[in-house]
Structures are given as structure tokens and as C-alpha cells.
Amino acid sequence: MKKEIHPEWYPDAVVTCVSCGTEWRTGATVPTMQTEICANCHPFYTGQQRIVDTEGRVDTFMKRLRMRDEIQNRLDEERQALTPPDLPLSELGLSKRHLNILNENDINVVQDVLDRLASDGDDAILSISGIGRQALSDIKKSLRARGYELPVQEDSEEVAE
């Protein structure tokens, strides 16, 4: 071996755990060492659930979760503000002619349209004189654009094979 190139060896170096304060002796190239966690306090060895967080990662993660929840709540509030049931049909951007026809048939707000669609499906709107498939399509498209959920229409006709 070459002389004076190897580090000094300390056969009784002291190792201290910062978390629990346990000390033990071992051989090392430095006289004292500190470790953040040891076998006496590590969750794997103790069987106890414990969060080992030395860099604040858990706090950062929890902060991100809170921010996500706040953003989700704000988006839900905005979505509900867009979809009030008493919204006048005039705000959906329908043609004046179709608005007048719907008003004559006591369909003045969005809830009226949704009720008719839920009870009898598309036929409830199509049975109104002056309202055709294109007008119904425009009404549904406008409602979906505003965030309303339309009732699902079940097909009662069976396909003959």
C-alpha cells in the first residue's frame, strides 16, 4: 500500500440519530456522524405508521391538495352559476321565432324544457307546431354548451332483424 493516501480510520466513531437520539459506535473515517433516521425509529423496523419528512414534501403535497380542492370548488360554483333552472330561454341564443313559439306554449325557462324532455322525450318538443328537428337540435346544443345535463332518451322502438 502507498503511504499517506488513505484516510484516517476511527474504530470507535460515534453515530447519532437526529430523530430519536440513539447513539452507537462503529468504525468510520470520521470521528462522529449524524443520521436522520435509524433502525430504532424507522417505520419499516418499528411497524408504526410515521411520516418521515425532512424536506417538507408532505406539507407541500398537502398544500397542493388544498389548492386543488379550492379550485375544484370554485369551478363547481361557476358551473352551477351557468346552469340555474330559472334561466330564461332568451339567454340561450335561440332564434326569435322559436322563442316566441316556445313562449306561446308556456315554455319560458330552461326548467320547462328539461321537464318536457324528461317526461316525453324529444316528442314533447317536436309536437309543438313550428318546432322541428333543427330547432330541437339548437335548443339541446345551447343547453349542453351552458352545462345542463339533458335527460337520456331511451329508444322504445325495437330494431327488427
Mean pLDDT, the chain, integer: 84
17 pLDDT exceeds 90? yes
Q: What is the pLDDT of residues 131-146, one digit of tens each?
A: 889 989 999 998 888 8
The arrangement of secondary structure in 10-46, i.e. its CATH architecture, is Irregular (4.10)
Whether 156 shows a pLDDT value over 60: the answer reads no
Q: Over the stretch 73-132, which tens digit does the pLDDT of each residue have?
A: 998 888 777 777 788 888 888 889 988 999 898 888 888 888 888 888 888 888 888 888
The answer to whether 98 and 138 have CB atoms below 8 angstroms apart is: yes
Task: Give pLDDT, residue 3.
Answer: 83
* Whole-Å CA distances, 19 to 16, 59, 98, 99, 158: 9, 18, 74, 72, 71
Rounded to 10 degrees, what is the CA torsion of 124, 127, 131, 132?
A: 100
Output 45 or 90, whichever has higher pLDDT. Answer: 90
2/70: higher pLDDT: 70
How far is C-alpha 160 from the chain's CA centre?
44
Where are the domains positioned within the chain? 10-46, 53-82, 89-145
- Quote the strand ranges of 86-152, DSSP E: none
Model pLDDT, residue 79: 76
Cα(154)–Cα(156) distance, rounded to whole angstroms? 6
